């Protein structure tokens, strides 16, 4: 087994799937000769050729719109959008078509495609390079939304995304691209959608998170563990489909829950989680549900970016506040 970073694991997943299935192709900006601005597609052009690793014109609507047609006629496109902040030009195809094609055609057509994009802040990038847009996609019928937190998950979830019969939005935590390594099997393995990962067990409070914030929450939980506080950390892995059973089982055990997310707070995915927990586990709750989020502002440029990004201190502070309730 190799020790890989998250971005290497994504590269590995693409290679595994492209070797296995000739219909899998990658298209996007700078994905070929340059190997992707984060090197996620490094070496793919050499191995698979320019027919399957395609440097496209600089046009996000074009990339996603083309991918729909490619998928309709037998290809399995993995479209790379270079940054989260450049997804909006493709939004029309995402909300108007990809999640609707199966519905509209009564199952005659589907678009098995993946849209990969790096998401999130914390890397001192310019404006439009640090967004957390998952709520838009989770809100849109017909889309699956996948957000890995680390290398092992990234590979197994991307393999599943490529094999999935439905369109998948796959958001990669760019702050974790090279932050740490994990053991990643060389063979192919698919992690199922809708199955959360229990990162740490604990009995006092549940923290539900995904992507970058999942690993941050784990750090906070470990720090609190040293103070004798048992924090259970659930990494959702996929927002759609959602592992409601894992969430409810944990909250019913601990009676307390914090949602930790990086996106702006209002109408974020966490709001949906809080509603579901309130609807389905009200009797088990021993304290009001809590959340930490980004703020309802545009994520700032890098001099004050740290003030926006939730850190372990904010997670710990909020957990203690919830624990004080009862």
Binding site for other proteins (CB under 8 A): 23, 25, 51-52, 54, 56-57, 59, 61-62, 65-75, 89, 92-93, 96-97, 99, 101-110, 141-142, 144, 164-166, 194, 240-242, 244
Contacts of 16 (CB under 8 A, 6+ apart): 155, 159, 187, 188
Contacts of 73 (CB under 8 A, 6+ apart): none
Helices (H) and strands (E) in the chain, counts: 12, 14
Q: What backbone phi and psi angles, to 5 degrees, belong to 237?
A: 65, -55
Q: Give least dist CB 100 to other proteins, A.
A: 9
Q: Give least dist CB 62 to other proteins, A.
A: 3
Query: Which residues make beta-bridge pairs with 233?
Result: 200, 207
Q: Give least dist CB 193 to other proteins, A.
A: 9
Comparing CB distances to other proteins, the nearer of 10 and 70 is 70
What Rg, from alpha-carbon coordinates, does the chain have?
19
Q: Supply the DSSP string of 289-302, one letter for each residue.
A: -EEEEE-SSPPP-G
- Among this protein's residues, is 129 annotated catalytic? yes
What is the distance between the alpha carbons of residues 137 and 81, in angstroms, rounded to a whole number?
A: 14
Structure token digits, residue 234: 């659930």
β-strand pairing of 231-235 with 197-200: antiparallel
Q: Give least dist CB 259 to other proteins, A.
A: 17
Q: Which of 242, 181, 184, 235 is nearest to 212 (CA)?
A: 235
Comparing CB distances to other proteins, the nearer of 78 and 231 is 78
Whether 188 and 156 have beta carbons less than 8 Å apart is answered as: no
Q: Give least dist CB 287 to other proteins, A.
A: 26
Q: Give least dist CB 139 to other proteins, A.
A: 12
Structure token digits, residue 31: 């994905």
Comparing CB distances to other proteins, the nearer of 23 and 203 is 23
What is the distance between the alpha carbons of residues 221 and 5, in angstroms, rounded to a whole number?
A: 23
- Of the candidates 93, 124, 128, 129, the residue annotated as catalytic is 129
Comparing CB distances to other proteins, the nearer of 138 and 316 is 138
Comparing CB distances to other proteins, the nearer of 71 and 319 is 71
Comparing CB distances to other proteins, the nearer of 70 and 205 is 70
Q: What backbone phi and psi angles, to 5 degrees, belong to 227?
A: -95, 10
Q: Virtual CA dihedral for 250, 253, 257, 263, nearest 10 degrees?
A: 0
Q: Which of 49, 135, 43 is nearest to 84 (CA)?
A: 135
Catalytically active residues are: 129
């Amino acid at each position: 087994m190799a020790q890989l970073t998250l971005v290497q694991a994504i590269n590995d997943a693409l290679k595994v799937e492209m070797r296995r299935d000739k219909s899998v192709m990658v298209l996007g900006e700078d994905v070929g000769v340059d190997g992707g601005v984060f090197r996620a597609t490094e070496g793919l052009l050499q191995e698979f050729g320019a027919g399957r690793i395609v440097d496209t014109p600089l046009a996000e609507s074009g990339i996603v719109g083309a991918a729909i047609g490619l998928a309709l006629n037998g290809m399995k496109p993995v479209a790379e959008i270079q940054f989260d902040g450049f997804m909006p030009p493709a939004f029309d195809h995402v909300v108007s078509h990809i999640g609707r094609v199966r519905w509209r055609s009564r199952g005659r057509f589907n678009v098995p495609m993946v849209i990969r994009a790096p998401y999130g802040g914390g890397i001192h990038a310019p404006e439009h390079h640090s967004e957390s847009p998952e709520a838009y996609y989770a809100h849109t019928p017909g889309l699956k939304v996948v957000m890995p937190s680390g290398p092992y998950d990234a590979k197994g979830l991307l393999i599943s995304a490529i094999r999935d019969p439905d369109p998948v939005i796959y958001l990669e935590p760019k702050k974790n691209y090279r932050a740490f390594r994990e053991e990643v099997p060389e063979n192919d393995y698919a992690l199922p959608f809708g199955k959360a990962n229990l990162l740490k067990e604990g009995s006092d409070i549940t923290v539900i998170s995904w992507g970058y914030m999942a690993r941050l929450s784990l750090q906070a939980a470990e720090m609190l563990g040293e103070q004798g506080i048992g924090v259970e950390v659930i990494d959702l892995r996929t927002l759609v489909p959602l592992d409601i059973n894992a969430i409810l089982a944990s909250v019913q055990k601990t009676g307390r829950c914090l949602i930790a997310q990086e996106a702006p707070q209002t109408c974020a995915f966490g709001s949906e989680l809080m509603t579901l927990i309130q609807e389905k586990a009200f009797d088990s709750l021993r304290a009001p549900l809590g959340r930490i989020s980004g703020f309802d502002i545009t994520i700032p440029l890098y001099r004050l970016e740290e003030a926006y990004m939730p850190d372990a201190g904010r997670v710990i502070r909020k957990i203690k506040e919830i624990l004080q309730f009862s």
